[in-house]
Structure formats: C-alpha cells, structure tokens
Structure 1
Amino acid sequence: MLPQPRPAARRPLAAVALLALAVPLTACGSAGTGTGAGDARAAISANQGSGSATPSAPASSSAPPKPTKVLMPTGPATQFSKARDTSAGPILMTTLAGPKSGVSGKVWVWLPPQYNDPKYANTGFPVLTLYAGGQSAGYNTWTDNQLPIQEIDQQMVTQGKAHPFIMIMPVQNLDSNEAKALECADIPGQPKIGTWMSQDIPDFVRANFRTLKGRDGWAVMGASTGAFCSAKLALQHPDVFKAAVPIDGYWNPDSPLWKGHEQERLANSPDQLIGTGTADVRMLATAGGANGYETKLVKNWIAKAKAPTTVEYYEQPGGKHLTSDFKKMIPTTLEWLTANTAGPEAD
C-alpha cells in the first residue's frame, strides 16, 4: 500500500487571507503507439455462478466479502502516444471519441511515477482533471513547462505534502474562435462538450487506470476560463467530483452561442449554481491580490455559497491574472487538494 502523505495542515499562509465563507459540510460525492500506460493497466474478470432453485445453507465459517476501495481498469484499453517528457515522467496523449457525447477531442494524461511501480500494482490513485485558460482548443497549458504541476507534485509527494495524482488534461473547445466558445456545457445545437467532460472523460479514466471507488478521490482545477469550467462541473456533478479549485475565475457564461437560450445559460452559470445549496462539494477559490476587480468578483461569488457547498478563499499577495502567477500557486493548491480528497489506497 502506498504510504499516505501526511494531511496538509490547515495553517495560516503567510500574507494570505484564507477564509471559510460558507456553512461547514453537513453529514448526510489520438490514437498512437502504445506507451508505458499500457503496462500499468490490468483487466478484471468476474465469475458468476448459476443460480440454484434451493439455496444451500451458508457455511458457518464464511465471512462477508471485504469492501474494496480500488477500482481496477474496466477497459477497453486506450492507445496513447507520448506528447513530451518531464523530469517527473512522460505526458501521454490520445484523442477521445466520447460515446455519450459524440464529441472527439484531445486528452493528455500524466501518471505519477508511483503508478507504474510494481509495489503499487494493487493501489488506486486519486484523479485531478486540469482545465486551462483561454480557448484551449488543441492545447492545454497544464501540459507544458509554463505550469509544471507534474514536477511540483512529485517534489511535494517526497516531502509528504501532496498525493500522487493521476492528472487528466483535456481540451475545452473544438474551435479557436472565441465566438464559438462552448463554456464546458451542452449548449443547445452545439457539440455536447459538457457531457464529454462530465461523463466521457471520467469513464475513459476508469477504463484505463486504477482509481478509487466513489467520488472522494476525484477533483477538478483550472485557471481563468478553466476556473469557470472547474467550478461549473463540480457544482453540476457532485456525484462525480468531491473538490474543485477555481483559480482567478469568472462565473457568468457569456458565449455568443447562448443567444436565444437564456434558461439553459442560467442553468450552466456558476453564479447561479453556487447559491442553490444542492452540491455537497468543497472548493478553494483564488484571486490575485493586485487585481481589485478580480478579488471583488471572487469574494462576491463566494458569499453566495449555501450549505452543503463550502468555499474557502485564497488571495495571492500581489498576484495578477498571469500564467506566471498561477504557477506560483501550484504548491498551495496541491496542498489544499490533498487535504480535501482521498489519497492512494490498496485493498
């Protein structure tokens, strides 16, 4: 079993405001050549016996089966190509044709080094899906050295400060034209990118990798436009995601494609969803301290949160709406995610 990283302490961060602004949670969720990912996948099989008209008495020594925590890959296995190498291992890439959405788009994957270590062959890992800023059509900035979250994660794992997350990095749009922004939603008459993100991608992950049963090991994070997506997806799908980190986000859908569909637009608005009190999720919302407009926007949004949703606030001292400042927040966000999601488990 992979040793559990020690939980991230909820200690005050220097020169940082970290405020709980909602009621605490109540108790009551491209095809290419194959690479190393294939070595890590395993098929599962189950034998079902035929029923009997007269059930036999159970053996007195038999015990109920032990509940399992790990979900082994369900298949079918995907073929991956290598996008690039990092000091923490390769980033893989494929094109996912979503059977539920009908959407086809690129997805990048990074597996922590522990995943392919034979010692952890029966260990399930938490999953972090990362969304980029901008249009993110054909690219995802979490896959390049502008946001080296993979290397930082491994450094923090060795320090006992972070989980070794499986990282999933999809595209967010199918066209670079901002007038065709899909805003991570099923806009009427447009490709169902919302279904692709919330159903096809999690199904793809479970088909290929050892994960944890239930939602406790699933989180989303994104910056700018990606913050909008991560907040929206978590609030709409608390059965899939337990936690979200929207970094310097906005909350009001404004794509021209919503014209004539105001009711659907509002149903996909984080500004509306945050106050419904229907999503049992945890979030950390950030803002750059050098941007007064942004800090006000984020704080006003957090103030609308209703239980069981909880939102904490992190203000980056002197931070601006820049990728270079998003990079500086990676350790803080990984530490928070580790404290708010389940870590690796073995049966």
Structure 2
Amino acid sequence: MLLGATALALTTALAACGSTGSKPGSDAKPAAHTVPSATPSAPPSSTPPPKPSKVLMPTGPAADLRTVRTTGAGPILMTTLTGKKSGVSGKVWVWLPPQYNDPKYAKYGFPVLTLYAGGQSAGYNTWTDNQLPIQEADAQLSQQGQAHPFIMIMPVQNLDSNEAMALECSDIPGQPKIGTWMAEDIPDFVRANFRTVKGRDGWGVMGTSTGAFCSAKLAMQHPGVFKAAVPIDGYFTPDSPLWKGHEAERLANSPDILVSQSKADVRMLATSGGANAYETKLVKNWVAKAAAPLTIDYYEQPGGKHLTSDFKKMIPNTLQWLTKNLAGPQTD
C-alpha cells in the first residue's frame, strides 16, 4: 500500500509539472525546471562587539559616610558597616585620593588598597592618623607619577580590645564571622559606593604586625578579590585563644601553611626589620616556603625595628611596589 501510494503521488506530481502527456513530434516544449534562488545571507556586521568595561560604577545603596578627620590630602571618612553576609558590625574608614573628585577623572575607576593596623585594632586603625600618614604620601607620589592614586579602606580588625578575644581576621567557629566581613562585605561596600577598577587587578591589601598576618592570609584565601598584598613585619601562625578546640580550622587559617599549599595567584612583598634577628629569620623562612603561582618579594629594612616609626619610613617604598603590581585608574 505504501509503495502504491508513493507511485500515485509521484505520477500526479509529474503530470502537474507537464513532464507527461506530451506526444512525440508535438510542439509542446518540456516544462522548464527552475531552481529556487537561495536566500541571501546577511552581510557580516561592521560593528565590532563592545569591549568589556574596565570600570565598575557604584552599585548602591550609598553608605552614611561622615568626615572624622581632615588631612593635607583630603578628608578621612568613617561609617559603621553591618555586613549582609557576615552579620558583623564594625567601623570602616575611607580616604579618596584628590583625583577621585577631579572632573577629569569622572569616568575613571580607581584601584583599592585595604589597610590593617597592628595590635588589636578594636575601634581604631593607625592608618587613619598621623602615626602612619599614608594618605599624604600617596597624594604626593601620585602627583609625581610614582604611585597610583588609591582609594584607601581602613577597617577595624577586632570587635573587642581584649587580646583573649582576638579574631585574627578569620571565621573562628562560634565567633563573629569577621573573616567574611573583611573578604566579602567590605569589598561589597566599596563597590556599592565608589568607582573602582573592575575585577581583582586593582585590589590590594597591606598591614603591619597583626595587620600583616591579616593581609597575607586574606590575599591567599581570596585571590579572586586581591591581586597583591604587603605584610609588613608580620607573624604567620594563628595563636588566638579562641582557636582552642578548633585545630583543623586554625590550620586552615594559618599563613604558614597557606604559603605553600594555597596555590593562590597573588603577588606579595614581605618585609622585616633588620634590627630584629628573630623577626628577620621568621619572615625569610616563611618567604622561602612560597609555592607557585604565589610569588613573594622580600625586603629587609636596614636597622628597622618592630615600631610604628619604622613602619612609617617604608610607606613610599610599599606604595611604589603596589603601583608596579596593581592596575592604576582605568576608563573605558
């Protein structure tokens, strides 16, 4: 039945196109077979695809920032940030370089440098006062073309001045999740409020002493956020009493272990004071453990001691190193 139906359909189709029914000698001409013209393809677009943006504009909502100090390089602002991801509330200070509000830079995104202090840093940060006047140094160096104009973010490190409650920039089980606050909530806050370099290429972190521990640890744990770090005269083994009973978590937050195991594609500059033999040995031994793709430069400050006055002397060098290893202001 299928064969017969197919033959009938074919005969009908041929009759319709005139290929049957003409007799020999007839004047009838075979029907012309026409080939349907192909639909012309659209010409290739002459408009190139848009380039990926290098600038991330503020996403909001805007934070309540107020001036708490005026410097020769502009005001230092402060807010209390309650992190949506961590639930932690803490003070954050902000400095914007003079270029940020210059109309010539209105469409530029700026690199970000987060700064952590030594000691407990509960309710204060030594980068916000004259102890470590990094803002004035950056303003001067950027005017001379020797450093990027950085947005500077200066959070607290702890929520309690009692050393027995040191959080070591980590999510210690049963304690406030300050590690999440630092690595996720603070970058979210920065992106919500300021024009920044898109991606991690313009994001760095630096700290002294305990802040050095924090900067090294955060960069290795979060290489998707930070590209470069400068731990100044730091230590690298967690020793807070709050780790008691949580040894696995303590080791997972140890820069001494992360330096050879994290596989973080991060660049660092680790420093030590030359007058402190113990510190010099500790830092040099830690640097020697670094495993690729992590790279660590080492600088030993001649005659340097573990003092804020000596940390201050290294500000120009550290800003210049960060400038070599991070993207500067970007525009589309």
- Aligned CA distance change for structure 1 residues 239 and 58 (closer, same or farther; 3 Å): farther
Instruction: Verify: 1:343 aligned to 2:324, yes or no.
Output: no
Equivalent position of 1:195 in the other structure: 180
1:209-220 to 2 correspondences below 5 Å: 209-220=194-205
CA distance in 1, matches of 2:112, 2:214: 16
- TM superposition shift of 1:59: 7.7
Equivalent position of 2:9 in the other structure: none
CA distance in 2, matches of 1:219, 1:81: 24
The AA in structure 2 aligned to 1:231 is A
- Aligned CA distance change for structure 1 residues 277 and 174 (closer, same or farther; 3 Å): closer
Equivalent position of 2:285 in the other structure: 300
- TM superposition shift of 1:308: 0.3
Equivalent position of 1:37 in the other structure: none
CA distance in 2, matches of 1:80, 1:213: 23
Q: Does 1 or 2 have the higher relative contact order (CA < 8 Å, sep 6+)?
A: 1
- Aligned CA distance change for structure 1 residues 148 and 58 (closer, same or farther; 3 Å): farther
Instruction: Verify: 1:66 aligned to 2:51, yes or no.
Output: yes
Equivalent position of 1:110 in the other structure: 95
Give the counterpart of 2:247 among 259, 262, 277.
Answer: 262
The AA in structure 1 aligned to 2:166 is A
Instruction: Verify: 1:153 aligned to 2:153, yes or no.
Output: no
CA distance in 2, matches of 1:58, 1:229: 56
Give the percent of matched residue pairs that are identical in Structure 1 and Structure 2: 82
Give the counterpart of 2:171 among 186, 191, 215.
Answer: 186
CA distance in 1, matches of 2:212, 2:131: 17
- TM superposition shift of 1:277: 4.8
Contact 1:277 1:307 in 2 (8 A): no
Kindly provide the CA deviation profile for residues 47-70 of structure 1, in whole angstroms up to 9, marking residues without a partner as x. Answer: xxxxxxxxxx79833331122100
Contact 1:98 1:196 in 2 (8 A): yes
The AA in structure 1 aligned to 2:82 is A
Contact 2:221 2:262 in 1 (8 A): no
Q: Secondary structure at the match of 1:85?
A: strand
CA distance in 1, matches of 2:315, 2:285: 24
Q: Secondary structure at the match of 2:74?
A: coil
- Aligned CA distance change for structure 1 residues 254 and 62 (closer, same or farther; 3 Å): same
Kindly provide the CA deviation profile for residues 142-168 of structure 1, in whole angstroms up to 9, marking residues without a partner as x. Answer: 000010000001111111110000000
Contact 1:287 1:314 in 2 (8 A): yes
1:277-288 to 2 correspondences below 5 Å: 277-288=262-273
Moved more, 276-285 or 139-148: 276-285
- TM superposition shift of 1:278: 1.1
Give the counterpart of 1:98 among 83, 86, 110.
Answer: 83
- TM superposition shift of 1:118: 1.1
Equivalent position of 1:133 in the other structure: 118
Q: Secondary structure at the match of 2:71?
A: coil
- Root-mean-square deviation (CA), in Å? 1.2
Q: Secondary structure at the match of 1:298?
A: helix
Give the counterpart of 2:227 among 225, 233, 242.
Answer: 242
1:315-334 to 2 correspondences below 5 Å: 315-334=300-319
Contact 1:88 1:113 in 2 (8 A): yes
The AA in structure 2 aligned to 1:296 is K
Equivalent position of 2:261 in the other structure: 276
Q: Secondary structure at the match of 2:260?
A: coil
CA distance in 1, matches of 2:208, 2:233: 6
The AA in structure 2 aligned to 1:253 is P
Contact 2:304 2:310 in 1 (8 A): yes
Q: Secondary structure at the match of 1:294?
A: helix
CA distance in 1, matches of 2:52, 2:126: 39
The AA in structure 2 aligned to 1:104 is S
Contact 1:70 1:124 in 2 (8 A): yes
Compute the TM-score of the two structures, normalised by the length of structure 2.
0.87
Compute the TM-score of the two structures, normalised by the length of structure 1.
0.83
Contact 1:216 1:342 in 2 (8 A): yes
CA distance in 1, matches of 2:165, 2:140: 39
CA distance in 2, matches of 1:274, 1:58: 54
Give structure 2 stretches of 5+ with no counterpart: 1-41
Q: Secondary structure at the match of 1:345?
A: coil
CA distance in 2, matches of 1:121, 1:283: 31
CA distance in 1, matches of 2:300, 2:192: 38
Kindly provide the CA deviation profile for residues 216-264 of structure 1, in whole angstroms up to 9, marking residues without a partner as x. Answer: 0000000000000000000000010000000000000000000000000
Equivalent position of 2:3 in the other structure: none
- Structure of higher CA gyration radius: 2
Greater percentage in helix:
2
